[in-house]
Amino acid sequence: MKIFRFGFLLIHLSIVLLLSATLLNDYVPPRVFPYLNLLSLAFPVLMILNFMLCLLWLISWKKRAIFFIAITLMLLTPIRRWINWNPAVAEKPNLKIVTMNVKGSAIGGHEKVNEYLQETNADIIFAQEYGRKFNIANYPYKTDQYEIVALKSKTEIIKQEKLATAGNGNAFYADIKFNGQIIRVVNVYLNPFSFDKQEVKPVEDFQENKAKVKDVVRKLVPTFKIHQEEIANIRKAIDNSPYPVIVAGDFNAVPNSYEYYELGRGLKDVFLEVGRGSSTSFHDYKFPIRIDYIFASKDIKPISYRVDRTVRLSDHFPVIAEFKID
């Protein structure tokens, strides 16, 4: 029994080490060491294993449980980026936005997608992979349709500019008049990984699974490096903005990744501030993940955040947030 416990101890130490290493994505870019970013993808699975082993030590009445629980509490913020619970904010919002990767309306159809987005009654609609028929009534202002990303607004857009991106990604910013002031919104679609479900679906044959893992890593690492280049250009529009900023879109990256840390630097993750429940938004795989985000400047007050799982008009669920802007 002691041998088994020692083995579990080594496994648990390895797991908490890997979980802690995800924090380095805040400092180490993919072009320096891309494999740290792989750990962010494994974070939920590693954390579930960590919880199970903590429970094992508690049931066994082992003092080491205190150590591992303390480590877990130190990782509370990274955990809350996946699953969170905040009390409802009592203040009344005056700005509502929705962001959605509509997958070219290939699943829901143009009419249903446009109808849903109109029914959200959002002040600003961010769309990624919008397709050719992004026509929504009662939204008089729109950005140019920058190939993959587009935006509709109920209030005036005074300036817009495409941001330099790489690969198949795209992004732009738009300065919008709202409530007597101007805010800058940035619509982001980072270069996709473009995995077919069969490429990541496990099978019974070990060698085939091993080959699949190698193929996935071969796609992931170059894409991480492309993301670094894209983010450098997007950050200029955020850092040089004379106005408060809202960043939203499909980052094609999970929480605790380099992309998450770098795009959110100096901004608030609205889910972390006011979200409740699970943040996962991409549901095309059996294991749902969070790759759609909304960030905001510190002087924009978030009121609510939710992932609308009542509709399946895309492989992404829409993400809706409300703010108070004085």
- Do 118 and 234 lie in one domain? The reply is yes
Q: For 298-321, write each residue's pLDDT tens digit.
A: 999 999 999 999 999 999 999 999
Check whether residue 132 and residue 249 sit in a common domain.
yes
- Residue in this structure with the two tokens 């082992």, named with its chain if needed: 62
Do both 95 and 64 map to the same domain?
no
* Measured CA distances, 117 to 76, 222, 229, 278, 321 (Å): 34, 34, 31, 22, 13
What is the DSSP secondary structure assignment for residue 150, as one 8-state letter?
E
**Residues 66 and 153 occupy one common structural domain:** no
What total of structural domains would you count in the chain? 2
Which residues make beta-bridge pairs with 320? Answer: 98, 306
Please give the span between the terminal C-alpha atoms of the chain, in angstroms, as a whole number.
63
- Tell me, yes or no, whether 272 and 166 share the same domain: yes
Q: Are residues 150 and 226 in the same domain?
A: yes
Tell me the pairing of strands 157-163 and 149-153: unpaired
Give the pLDDT confidence score for residue 210 in this predicted structure. 63
Residue 129 in tokens: 């992979």
| 74 shares a domain with 97 | no
Alpha helices (H) along 83-196: 110-119
CA 226/CA 191 separation, integer angstroms: 7
- The pTM (predicted TM-score) of the whole model is 0.92
Kind plus residue range of the DSSP H or E element containing 247: strand 245-250
CA distance 319 to 258: 21
- Among the candidates 55, 80, 105, a domain finishes at 80
Can you give the residue range of the structural domain that contains 268?
Answer: 87-324
Q: What is the DSSP letter of 267?
A: S
CA distances from 264 to 149, 230, 255, 268, 296 (A): 19, 14, 10, 7, 8
Q: What is the pLDDT of residue 267?
A: 98
Q: Are 103 and 60 found together in one domain?
A: no
- How far, in Å, CA of 99 to CA of 126, rounded? 4
Tell which of 80, 101, 120 closes a domain.
80
Q: How far apart are CA 199 and CA 215, in angstroms?
A: 8
pLDDT averaged per 10 residues in sequence order, the chain, 326 residues: 81 96 96 93 95 93 92 96 92 96 80 91 94 80 81 94 84 94 96 66 58 72 93 96 97 96 97 96 85 96 96 94 94
CA 115 to chain centre: 25
Cα–Cα separations (whole angstroms), residue 37 to 33, 60, 232: 8, 34, 17
Q: Which one of 80, 99, 133 terminates a domain?
A: 80
Same domain, 142 and 21: no
State the virtual CA torsion across 134, 136, 141, 142 in degrees, nearest 10.
-10
Same domain, 212 and 171: yes
User: What CATH code is carried by the domain that includes residue 197?
Assistant: 3.60.10.10
CA distances from 197 to 201, 217, 283 (A): 6, 15, 11
Half-sphere exposure of 209 (CA within 13 A, CB side): 6
**pLDDT per residue over 205-224, tens digit each?**
556 556 656 776 777 889 99
Same domain as 109, residue 58: no
Asked if 115 and 29 sit in the same domain, the reply is no
Instruction: Judge contact between 88 and 304, C-beta under 8 A.
Output: yes
Neighbours of 280 (CB within 10 A): 20
Which residues have C-beta within 8 Å of that of residue 123, sequence separation ≥ 6?
Answer: 95, 96, 97, 153, 154, 155, 178
